[in-house]
Chains A and B, each alone.
Chain A
Amino acid sequence: MGEGTRPSSPWEGCVTGIEVVSSSYHQTPPFPLSKYEKTYIQAALRELSPIRADGRSLFDYRSTALETGVASLANGSARVNIGKTAGEESGSGAEVIAAVKLEVEDVLEGEGVDGGRIVFTVSCSPAAYPHLSSTALDDLSYDTTIILNQCLSHPSLHPKNLTISPRRKSWSLNLDIMVLSDSGNVYDALFLAARSALWDAKVPKTRSVQYQPKSNILGDQDVEMSADGSGSIFNTREVAKAADFELADWWDEGEPLRVNREWPVCVTLNLVPAKSLLMYFADVTPHEEASMPLRLLLLFSFSPSGTRLRSMRLMGDGEVQLESMTLLLEGGENHAKKLFEALGKKLEEEDLRRNQKAQVKFDLR
């Protein structure tokens, strides 16, 4: 886990907009459901026209709120809430906040990797899972981190602009995600937040600096050492090599991560236990989550070059026929596409909103 010596936490200074989440009277999963509550939910879904506990149709999402730029000290951040009840202040819905923080790492001496590296960390807040002990909470955080890691750390998703100076310095990208409250469908929220934060992330512009010994003055030996300390002052063979970098003084915050913006979205398909027909639905409430034995996480990314299934994962103790997997994948792709498009539109709106806000602030000066 990417903990250790972190110069400054990305959560600092992001007090605005985060409410204290209290789940005093919300029953949180996985509380035990009685047998007849489960059969009630399952039977309602097996009706000719399926009925869900809150009247939604099978693929309706609850109201989903998204905001980028919530942590001012982070290089990119986002907050997502699925299922907040209108009028309720806090503690309802699955709320996830994600922040991207970039750090300079030394490739030669530090633990940096040439070309940069990405570290994902998910932490589940005890407020979201009040019934869990601290060790169980750690396990849950760790498991979720693994899922995020396996899905997002594929080489094809590695941003190409994390290098500062080749073979010397690179950026390490830390994506920290915090689950503030969980009321079902937390994986969709997690990946929505991850994609939004990575979309929002800006890599600072850098310029390499190098020393050029003045050769016209005889006997003058530059007393300054190169910043990385590797080159001796007597080493004159590598004079043309960039030794360090400085931040370009530019009005913009930097450039976005260069991965063709292919970060995937996740749809969780929950399979209704039925003998013959295959039935599944999205965006579960905790009660529905507790009564479905099996769910399938599908991660898709859509780009002009084509649709890609990034990852899939079957969770739960039920079983599914191999033949039905194709149907599930097709269905999942459809819904993921709609989700992806809606998210893309919202992210552009958010960019626009924040640019306008920045413009207003600038004009006021």
Chain B
Amino acid sequence: MITFTSFPKSKDSFSYTAAKFSAVDGNDMDVDVYGDDYGEDFDSGTKLTYPGESITSSYDYMRGHGTFIDQGNVISSVAGTIERVNKLVSVRAIRTRYNPEVGDLIVGRITEVQPRRWKVDANSRQDAVLMLSSINLPGGVQRRKLESDELQMRQFFEGGDLLVAEVQAFFADGAMSLHTRSLTYGKLRNGQLVCVPPILIRRLKSHFVSLPCNVDLILGLNGYIWVSKHIDQNRQPGEEGLDAESVYSNQNEAIDAPTRMAVSRVTNLIKVLASHFVPLSDVILLEAYEWAVENDVEVKDLTQPDICEGLIATVGTKG
């Protein structure tokens, strides 16, 4: 029922678990490419900076995002990991809004319907834009948009709807433009949303993850994760069957109780992992799910502190 606990001592809240996981930096590909050619006078990617920390000399390096110059030094303005491309030094903040890049897969929520476009909340600094011309219109991929489509935009997406999309380009003001012109993108149904800090989502080969417990996951790079019932690939609508009914329907399918439990379990696991700052990937999630099933943990008990610790300890050692 209800039991009251005490607040943790304030010093406990500073015991940051991030240090355990050196893989905090999501894309270590573009770091250290030229690592050995230049005299290394600072670490990149391994250590967390604190705001105000002097990183390097401004005479040798250029300042990037998250840094400023003071008295000939490049100084970090945020807590985060150092990234360097040639002479450009930037700091990627740990807690920040999502910084979009072209080609990223994101999960977003429609906030507004505007003439010929939707505004989408994607955990970024500005709302993203989804143009009517960059969605799959019913009746075939190649169909031109008509005036009637403009009038019935709410048949496709309305305020509050969740969708998975790809970042297509940027506008002049930095807002991102999305597109859903693929059969794998579009409206999300049959599940629930979890929000985690965007830095925890690592770039994967595929962000559509299927767990063996009949659960599908979409790991949006903006930190929104869609957890839903597994949909068989064969049953996905083909190009001919692309009608407004199936793609833009607002009806959930029938979902049985075990699947609902599995969805809840995965949701709780993601929350626990995110609260301990573990970067999420399909491997780690699968491992965590297996651990929860092996140890026969009830879904609601997953958020209890001692069980969290157990989970983090197991997943942390292997991962």
Contact = CB atoms under 8 A, between A and B. Distances in A.
Contacts of B260: 44, 47, 51
Given A64-B3, A89-B14, 11 more contacts: A32-B160, A34-B109, A34-B160, A40-B192, A43-B252, A44-B255, A53-B264, A53-B267, A60-B300, A64-B2, A66-B6
B186 to A, nearest CB: 13
B124 to A, nearest CB: 11
B193 interface: yes
Contacts of B276: 87
Interface in A37-94: 37, 39-41, 43-44, 47-49, 51-57, 59-67, 79, 81, 85-90, 92
A342 interface: yes
A343 interface: yes
A17 B10 CA distance: 6
Interface secondary structure of A, over-half rule:
loop
Interface of B: 1-7, 10, 13-14, 17, 95-97, 109, 111, 123, 158-162, 189-193, 195-198, 223, 250-252, 255, 257, 260-261, 264-265, 267-268, 271-272, 275-276, 298-300, 302-305, 308, 312
Given A61-B1, A342-B2, A39 B264 contact: no
Which 9 A-B residue pairings sit nearest by Cβ, starting from the closest?
A55-B299, A32-B160, A346-B4, A86-B305, A61-B2, A55-B300, A88-B275, A34-B160, A87-B275
B286 to A, nearest CB: 19
A41 B265 CA distance: 15
Contacts of B17: 87
Contact count band on A: 35 or more
Contacts, number: 144
A84 to B, nearest CB: 8
Interface string A8-47: 0000000011010010111100011111110111011001
Which among B111, B193, B265 has the highest number of chain A CB atoms within 10 Å? Answer: B193
Nearest to B193: A37
A79 B264 CA distance: 29
Nearest to A347: B4
Nearest to B111: A32
B160 A65 contact: no
A314 interface: no
Contacts of A67: 6-7
A113 interface: no
B4 A35 contact: no
Given A34-B161, A65-B4, A87-B276, A49 B300 contact: no
A56 B265 CA distance: 11
9 contacts: A19-B10, A19-B13, A24-B95, A40-B252, A41-B192, A47-B260, A59-B1, A338-B1, A339-B2
A33 B197 contact: no
A168 interface: no
Interface string A325-365: 00000000001001100110110000000000000000000
Contact of B1 (A34, A40, A342): A342
B160 A35 contact: yes
A90 B13 CA distance: 9
A287 interface: yes
B242 to A, nearest CB: 19
A66 B7 CA distance: 7
Contacts of B192: 37, 40-41, 53, 287
Given A22-B95, A34-B161, A67-B6, A43 B305 contact: no
B264 A55 contact: yes
